[in-house]
Amino acid sequence: MAKEKVLNEKEKMNPFLWFLFAIVIPVIIAITLTVVVFAVAGVDVVSWAKNTGNNIPVLSSFITTDDEAREKAQQESIESRLDAKDAEIEKVSQEKKELEGTVEQLKQQITKLERDLDATRQKPGQEDDKKTVKQISKSFTNMKGKQAALILEQLEPGTAYVILSEMSTDNRGSIMENMSPEVAAEITKFFINAN
């Protein structure tokens, strides 16, 4: 009885082995020989296989033709350019927000300085006025030349002249070089007329 079981199992495996050795392996050998013969004969077997496989519904999803590869590369290129543009837009919008914040700060400084200047003008006593002008002038000296120039351009030329006259020549020069030429010319006229 045990021998019969072993014989039955061998008989069950024989059909699979028979199928493997009789059909699958000879088909693989035949396909390989055919490809080699056509390749030696000068036929482009790979292109033919791609074109033929592309026409078969199930295989077409696995095979990539040259046109599809080109389109995919082009699409990836476009997507990378879009990503770069998006990053650039984000950077520009961030810079815009920073500049708007700087402009707002400068406007607040202008308002504060104009109030200080008005308060200085209304105070009696020339000595207090000079002290306040010196303090304001010192504030501008401590600022960057561009910021000070932007603020002073918003003031009247006479007021800007009073503040600049209390500064050293170097500080005055660095601020005036950052001003627009028209405003700098107006303030220079005050310096000329004062002498």
Asked if 148 and 183 sit in the same domain, the reply is yes
Higher-confidence residue of 183 and 49: namely 183
Asked if 105 and 137 sit in the same domain, the reply is yes
Asked if 100 and 175 sit in the same domain, the reply is yes
Q: Which two tokens stand for residue 5?
A: 């079981």
Asked, for residue 1, whether it belongs to a domain, the answer is no
Q: Is the pLDDT of residue 155 over 70?
A: yes
Asked, for residue 8, whether it belongs to a domain, the answer is no
Asked, for residue 5, whether it belongs to a domain, the answer is no
Which structural domain, as residue segments, surrounds residue 183? 72-194
Higher-confidence residue of 62 and 159: namely 159
Structural contact between residues 141 and 109, judged by C-beta atoms closer than 8 angstroms: no
CATH of the domain at 181: 1.10.220
At residue 61, the pLDDT reads: 67
Asked if 145 and 97 sit in the same domain, the reply is yes
Give 24's DSSP letter.
I
At residue 82, the pLDDT reads: 94
- Distance between first and last Cα of the chain: 133
d(CA 161, CA 172): 10
- Cα 28 to Cα 23, 32, 83, 184: the distances in Å are 9, 6, 47, 90
Q: Is the pLDDT of residue 5 over 90?
A: no
When mean pLDDT is compared over 5-19, 30-44, 132-146, the highest value belongs to 30-44
At residue 123, the pLDDT reads: 60
At residue 35, the pLDDT reads: 84
pLDDT by residue (tens digit) across 50-84?
A: 777 777 777 666 666 667 778 888 999 999 999 99
CB neighbours of residue 46 within 10 Å: 10
At residue 158, the pLDDT reads: 84
